[in-house]
Amino acid sequence: MEAFITSMAGVRIPRIIYGTAWKKTDTRRLVEIAIREGFRAIDTACQPKHYDEAGVGAGVTACLNLGLARRDLYLQTKFTPVSGQNPRQIPYNARASLPEQVAQSFAASLRNLQTDYLDCLILHSPLSTAEQTWALWHAFESLVDAGGVRQLGISNCYTLADIEHLCNGSRIKPAIVQNRFHAETGYDREIRGFCSQQKIVYQAFWTLTANPHVLAHATIAALASTHKRTPPQILFRYLAQAGIVPLTGTRSETHMREDLSIFEFELTVAECRAVDRIFMEKA
């Protein structure tokens, strides 16, 4: 299996992404280490409450200064609505119109990341009304039209009807859906099925943290022993073969190397079916 997947927008996306939430002052150092170890996709957000987007940019720039080209990296960030921001650290004028909030947040992201374009801009969550969500999405589409963003996505959207509505009514359809991967939502089976049909790339976060029961399952342990890998490697490899792109936020250099090495082995069809059954048990 190739370590990249191509989205409906024609954007080449690594099949595992380094996530930067909650890294705070360690963000720059960890991003630089992740890229040096081989990560080529970085996820962040223009949301100072949980992300240091400028730290991501500093880590990326340090690696670019060592000879890596910007085109070699996939950078995705998010527009976070006012409801998801720390009221004391909103990176745009909260009283501005929704399109202007998007424009200001986008400009801040370009400054923070020290880049002139984004590989993906994700709506961090739908707004409370469809009208508000559409106002934001149309502003997103304008950024694609202007050449500043290559593709669009939505996160924390757990109702299939909402995703269908966005796909059916938008001029530029979401190329990415990024959600928590956990039992409470049935692991988004219906949403993932729709994404597969529509050629939308499904990204999973909270993948290890929310699933200790999966990592501890006897089936995973047996596969880890068979392949001489760790349980997280087995889970990440299974997800990659299922067409899911997981985020990993590890702070460990060893775990970074292990996460990237999931493309060095393959699970059989029978082994994948065995892992499927674990998720059926817990959904």
Read off the pLDDT of residues 24-73 as tens digits, 9 standing for 90 and up. Answer: 999 999 999 999 999 999 999 999 999 999 999 999 999 999 889 999 99
Residues 120, 91: Cα–Cα separation, whole Å: 19
With a pLDDT cut of 70, the percent of the chain lying above it is 99
Answer yes or no: is 260 within a domain. no
- Please enumerate in sequence order all residues whose Cβ is within 8 A of that of 107, keeping only pairs 6 or more positions apart, or say none: none
Is 198 part of any domain?
A: yes
Q: Dump pLDDT digits (tens) for 201-250.
A: 999 999 999 999 999 999 999 999 999 999 999 999 999 999 999 999 99
218 within some domain:
no
Q: Give the global pTM.
A: 0.97
**Assigned domain for 280 exists:** no
* Domain residue limits at 128: 4-210
CATH of the domain at 114: 3.20.20.100
For the stretch 139-195, pLDDT in tens is 999 999 999 999 999 999 999 999 999 999 999 999 999 999 999 999 999 999 999
| Residue 268 counted as domain residue | no
275 domain residue, yes or no: no
Q: Tell me how far apart the alpha carbons of residues 188 and 208 are, in angstroms, rounded to a whole number.
A: 16
- For residue 165, give the nearest of 120, 128, 133 by alpha carbon: 133
Q: How far from 177 is each of 160, 221, 236, 240, CA to CA, in Å?
A: 11, 30, 18, 15
What confidence score (pLDDT) does residue 184 get? 95
Total number of domains constituting the chain: 1
